Amino acid sequence: MNALRSLWLCVFLSVACIIPATAQTPAATVIAHLEPGTTRSALQAGLAPGVRITGWLPQIRAAVLHLPPGSSANSIRHPKIRSIEQDAIMHPVASGPDPLFPQQYGLANVQASAAWTVSTGVGTVVAVVDSGIQLDHPDLASQLWANPGEIPGNGIDDDGDGYIDDVHGWHFYHGIDSFGNPVPQNDGDLSDGLGHGTHVSGIVGAARNNAEGGAGIAPDTRLMIMRVFGRPDAPYDANGYESDIASAILYTVDHGANVINMSLGGNTDVQALHDAIIFAVVHGVVVVAAAGNNVPAVVYPARYPEVIAVGATDRSDQPAFFSTSGPQLALSAPGVNILSTAKNPPPPNYPADDCPGSLMPPSTGYYGLCSGTSMSTPLVSGAAALLKSVHPAYTPACIRIVLEKSADDIAVPGFDPATGWGRLNAVRALQLASQGGCYTQLLPLVP
Residue 130 annotated in active site: yes
Distances (CA, A) of 377 to 13, 309, 329: 13, 8, 12
Chain Cα centroid distance, residue 235: 18
**Dihedral angle, C-alpha 330, 333, 335, 339, nearest 10 °:** -140
Per annotation, catalytic residue among 6, 243, 323, 374 = 374
Nearest to 275 by CA among 63, 440, 441: 63
**Cβ neighbours of residue 331 under 8 Å, at least 6 residues apart?**
308, 310, 311, 380, 403, 404, 407, 419, 420, 421, 422, 423, 424
Residue 211's identity, in one-letter code, is A
Per annotation, catalytic residue among 14, 33, 78, 130 = 130
**Cβ neighbours of residue 22 under 8 Å, at least 6 residues apart?**
178
Per annotation, catalytic residue among 196, 199, 274, 391 = 196
Known catalytic residues are 130, 196, 374
